[in-house]
């Protein structure tokens, strides 16, 4: 029995390679994360999208920042991932992808498969902007 997703959502993911939308964060949680991201960007000297910002700050931040670690362990996210690939979940990496306001949005299908990771693999993305914002 799925924890979070309906059988139709699981079927949609298996057919299409992505599942959206899948609400996981409350508006307050998303706002708190946006604030923490802004504070992190200030600490590293600017927006993570800037060429002047060291690219290492865009990846693996779940091992550097406790709030990112908490995000990748958020029950609503993990429950959905578990419904798709089972309970054996390893966060291999975390990477920040930004869609700035007034830029085109695209959906990416799951394409990563690591031969060193037997079994099912998937990617989970969390969007931390309000649904009504221009960046949504």
Which pLDDT value is given to residue 115?
39
Structural domain for 54, as ranges: 1-14+26-101+110-136
Angle CA(89)–CA(91)–CA(94) in degrees, nearest 5? 150
The answer to whether position 136 is within a domain reads yes
pLDDT at 49: 84
1 closest CA partner among 102, 56, 82: 82
**Res. 109 pLDDT band, cuts 50 70 90:** very low
Kindly state whether residue 56 falls inside one of the protein's structural domains.
yes
pLDDT computed for residue 119 by the predictor: 57
Please give the mean pLDDT across all residues of the chain: 79
pLDDT in tens, 72-105: 899 999 999 999 888 888 888 888 877 666 666 5
Of 51, 29, 48, 28, the closest CA to residue 39 belongs to: 48
The answer to whether residue 115 sits within a structural domain is: yes
Asked if pLDDT for residue 114 goes beyond 60, the answer is no
Residue 67 in domain:
yes
Residue 43: pLDDT above 90? yes
4-8, 45-49, 106-110: the lowest-pLDDT one: 106-110
pLDDT the model gives residue 70: 92
Percent of the chain with pLDDT over 70: 73
Helices (H), the chain: 7-16, 27-44, 66-72, 75-85
Q: Is residue 19 part of a domain?
A: no
Give the mean pLDDT of 16-39. Answer: 88
Give the residue-averaged pLDDT of 19-28.
86
Is the residue at 74 inside a domain? Answer: yes
Number of domains in the chain: 1
């Amino acid at each position: 029995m799925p924890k979070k997703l309906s059988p139709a959502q699981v079927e949609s993911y298996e057919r299409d390679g992505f599942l959206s939308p899948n609400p996981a964060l409350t508006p307050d949680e998303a706002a708190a994360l946006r604030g923490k991201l802004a504070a992190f960007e200030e600490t590293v000297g600017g927006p993570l999208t800037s060429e002047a910002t060291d690219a290492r700050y865009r990846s693996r931040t779940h091992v550097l920042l406790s709030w990112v670690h908490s995000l990748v362990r958020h029950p609503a996210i993990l429950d959905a991932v578990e419904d798709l690939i089972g309970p054996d979940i390893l966060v291999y990496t975390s990477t920040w992808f930004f869609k700035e306001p007034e830029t085109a949005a695209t959906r990416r299908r799951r394409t990563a498969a690591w031969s060193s990771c037997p079994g099912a693999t998937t990617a989970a993305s969390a969007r931390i902007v309000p649904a009504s914002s221009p960046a949504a």
